[in-house]
Chain A
Amino acid sequence: MTNHMLPPGFEDIEPFAADWALDTQDERYVKRRNSSAEEIRSFYDAMLRHIEKILDEVDRFPIGTLPESHRPLYAMALSLAEIAPHVELYRGNPLVPYSFEEGRMRSWHGDQPTWQGKRPSP
């Protein structure tokens, strides 16, 4: 693969980009529930090593102006936010244990591309 989705310096996490660079919370919510415990864990381990560097990198741009080159990188950081509780709190379970049916809970902001920095409510 020569077709890189991420800026230089993030080659380590490039193998995860195709699966986890998801722009909206709804997409990340579905992806997490459809992943295995192993998939979540390996993504978490790889991302944890880079997350501070990613956040500093995206902070070079004012909110709402993230260039296309950095959108997959930021979307992966947001996927880490989505799956972190499952690794850190739920013993690797990709679902929220003992919960309401996750697919029935809806959000107003779920289909917004998060990088756009729009308000999450009217």
Chain B
Amino acid sequence: MKDAAQFRWASKYPELGTGPISVEPCVSPAYFESEREKVFKRTWLKVGRVEEIPNAGDYKVKRIAVAGTSVIMIRTKEGAVRAFHNVCSHRGNTVVTETGEETFGSSRAAVLTCRFHGWVYDAQGALISVPEEERFYSCFVKADNGLTPIHVDVWEGFIFINLAPRPEQNLKDYLGGYGDHFAGFPYGALDYCFTYYTYLDCNWKIAHDAFAEAYHVPTIHAGSFPNAFTTGLQNVELYGPHRTTAICLTLGAAATPVATLANKRARGSLVAKAGSNMLPPTINPDRREDFAFELSVTFPNFLLHVAEGIWFTHQFWPISHNKTLWEGKYYLAAPKTYSERWALEHAQVLQRNAWLEDTATMEATQSAMESGTKHYIHLQDEEILIRHGYHILDRYMAAE
């Protein structure tokens, strides 16, 4: 065996160590209860995009099971985004009636009205109308009974919330160098988004880890992406709790007949070679010819990837220690013609299939880990992002 110093990433980031990783964070219900408080109620969580609520009065409600609440994001008349718990001050009903994990709506007057007794709140959260207000006792003060706010901020069009009463950092400081690294990509212009989701019977980190390396590509993606990507990472950078790397093409894979036709009609496939015209200088800084996409993790649960003409995300929402809501989103430029739309259909169907390959191992990994047979997992040098993830998680879990 070689020394850590002989490995690219272990020598660049010696503080991460090289030892095996405990399985406890993935299988322990008690560990998960602690993660709720120490990670998910303290960090900034991506909950939406500004394009989802473009106009004053547009709102989105998203369930955040890990924090036991639902968040309303609403666009104010002034154009800002505000966030509140979806709980009425009157009898505790949900203000917006939810129809699933995400509920969308729009109010021309930019107000939210509780269906139960008609209490009305404005987009700043203020309680502005109470039917039969004169029948409430003097201890009820309207001005004190607005919606309960949640800290919210926007970076590059991504809406983040922080459920702490007083966040330790603002969003800009929380993202730090990661925010600079990913600024300037045309996220908002590539807004034609295909969304897939499912519930996985596994810990959120098992899902996260399965996507956070390229070592699995020759085996897991032998079907959908044969000989397409190299397993080694390039340009790994760690930014506080966040992490990023470049994934590269082998440039040896020949496109199949229908893929060739699709690639001629529109840019939609990660395995089709492309330039770096839209990429900010921080991404693929050497303008490598074999650059495919940047793979990154915004701690704790958001994976952001960017490529020329394509960006995509994964998010892992914990429900319990062994149940996770996974959301995969694939963003492209809106097609201008039917043939372009057809080409995008081909590209995103293949991407969906690749995600079906990625998700195939997760539940089996969870049940095998829960058997108690193995107490540790082993990570090689090109799995450095996973190692960094557990390293950061340890730090959050050890904090007061």
Contact = CB atoms under 8 A, between A and B. Distances in A.
A-B complex is real:
yes
Contacts of A102: 356
Given A100-B359, A121-B329, A63 B196 contact: no
B262 interface: yes
A104 B338 contact: no
A84 interface: yes
Main secondary structure of the interface of B (DSSP, over half): helix
Contacts of B258: 48, 51, 80-81, 84, 88
Contacts, number: 128
B360 A108 contact: no
A114 B87 CA distance: 37
A51 B259 CA distance: 12
Nearest to B193: A121
A51 B358 CA distance: 30
Interface in B95-131: 102, 104
A115 B337 CA distance: 11
Interface stretch (B11-19, B238-246, B344-352): B344-352
A97 interface: yes
Contacts of A108: 194-197
Contacts of B350: 85
Nearest to B331: A121
B394 interface: no
B196 A106 contact: yes
Contacts of A98: 220, 223, 357, 360
Interface residues of B, number: 45
Contact of B198 (A81, A84, A90, A100): A100
A99 interface: yes
A5 B399 CA distance: 66
A105 B196 contact: yes
Nearest to A122: B104
Contacts of B259: 84, 88
A59 B336 CA distance: 10
B353 A61 contact: no
Interface of A: 25, 48, 51-52, 55-56, 58-59, 61, 63, 66, 74, 77-78, 80-82, 84-85, 88-90, 96-100, 102, 104-109, 114-115, 117, 119-122
Given A81-B342, A120-B194, 10 more contacts: A48-B258, A81-B345, A82-B349, A89-B224, A89-B256, A96-B223, A96-B356, A99-B353, A108-B194, A122-B52
24 contacts: A52-B261, A55-B339, A58-B338, A59-B337, A63-B341, A80-B258, A82-B349, A84-B257, A85-B350, A85-B353, A89-B226, A89-B256, A96-B356, A96-B357, A98-B223, A100-B360, A100-B362, A107-B195, A108-B195, A108-B196, A115-B338, A119-B192, A121-B52, A122-B104
The list of the 4 closest CB pairs from A to B, nearest first, reads: A88-B256, A84-B258, A100-B359, A99-B356
